[in-house]
Homo-oligomer: A and B are copies of this chain.
Amino acid sequence: MDERVREHARTLVDWSARIEAGDDVVVRVGPDAHDLAVAVAEELGKRGANVVTTYASGEVTRAYLRAHEGDFEADPEYERALLAAADAVLTLGGGRNTAATADVPGERRQAYDRARREIRTARLDTKWVLTEHPTRSLAQQAGMSYEAYQEFVYGAINRDWEAQAEKQAKVKEVLDDASEVRLVSGDDTDLTMSVEGRVAVNSAASVDYDSHNLPSGEVFTAPHATEGEVRFDVPMTINGKRVRDVDLRFEDGAVVDYDAAQGEEAIAEVVETDDGARRLGELGIGMNRGIDRVTDNILFDEKMGDTVHLALGRAYSSNFPEGREGEANESAVHVDLITDVSEDSRIVVDGETMQADGRFWFEDGFGE
């Protein structure tokens, strides 16, 4: 087996999920994530954890959902029991077709998800981690050869996470003490947000850091009182539609105007979802420099080094002090949009420049 797969498995089991002897671990295996599943099973065996592997196939889900008419049973007990008693849930993404469920009617999918709220909550109450095995399907989505894509994925995942976490801690500290963040980039972006009363999350790809993605590598908080305009120049796919060069204008915290060079209707659909969809739920600063290109996969794109992403919609409760989670922006959606800040850009916190042209204040080359 490829040594990089074993390292991925060790990172997932040790750093990300903090698996201990006796842990009851559910491993959800994508159809093409077999090799990673084997490596993870070996690591779980070594640690004396227990393992149940489930099969996470988009094609199986599609077949089931399309054939199922009428109401879905709420939280089937056998699946709820499995997850309620589990200590950790490791999702090993890796399908054969990123569009496998494209012809499942949206309402059917939503009804299914709504019927499974307790199951979802039970999963989120464990040490859960989402990662992806590099597959040919994801390589294709990225427009990359399989070998080059593998290099890319392992460059993003098999990192010195301890060092990454320390670097990110500096940014978290500044944001926690801050009241205002200003983002300036090129001619089209000058945005001011309040982060007063918010808690930044040092998302270092470990449950010990409130971080559930591998790779991660970002610091994020929940902004409010947003004013100004922003251009998102990193192309992406939203609900199956390509979008490029999205412009948003905010007044009093809400979007008052938007356009896009491509996919404006996808943005319209998001913004019109509900009131919360016009407000920001997240300001994220991408700091994973192992991710050095766009691969049309949000798990990777939003953590790309020298980018900033803002999400329209739902905020994470982890960005609020205990007892104040109720202040979180609510919405049915959470849609990330990304902008490159590696050139002609500044992130300014309470008047002090935190990052200029992709360099943080504590890095060589800052301000040069």
Interface residues of A (CB under 8 A from B): 22, 24, 26-27, 29, 31, 34, 37-39, 41-46, 48, 50-57, 59-61, 63-70, 73, 76-79, 81-86
Contacts and interface: CB of A to CB of B under 8 A. Distances in A.
| Copies of this protein in the complex | 2
A121 B61 CA distance: 29
Contact of A38 (B51, B59, B81, B86): B59
Given A55-B53, A60-B41, A78 B73 contact: no
A31 B52 CA distance: 15
A368 to B, nearest CB: 50
Contacts of A24: 76-79
B76 A78 contact: no
A63 B34 contact: no
Nearest to A87: B78
Contact of A41 (B26, B27, B63, B76): B63
Nearest to A22: B73
B73 A45 contact: no
Nearest to A82: B82
Given A50-B79, A54-B52, A45 B63 contact: yes
Contacts of A41: 60-61, 63-64, 67
Given A22-B73, A81-B82, A85-B77, A44 B64 contact: yes
Given A24-B77, A37-B55, 19 more contacts: A24-B76, A24-B78, A27-B55, A34-B57, A34-B60, A42-B63, A42-B66, A45-B63, A45-B66, A46-B68, A48-B68, A50-B73, A50-B76, A53-B56, A54-B54, A54-B55, A78-B81, A78-B86, A81-B85
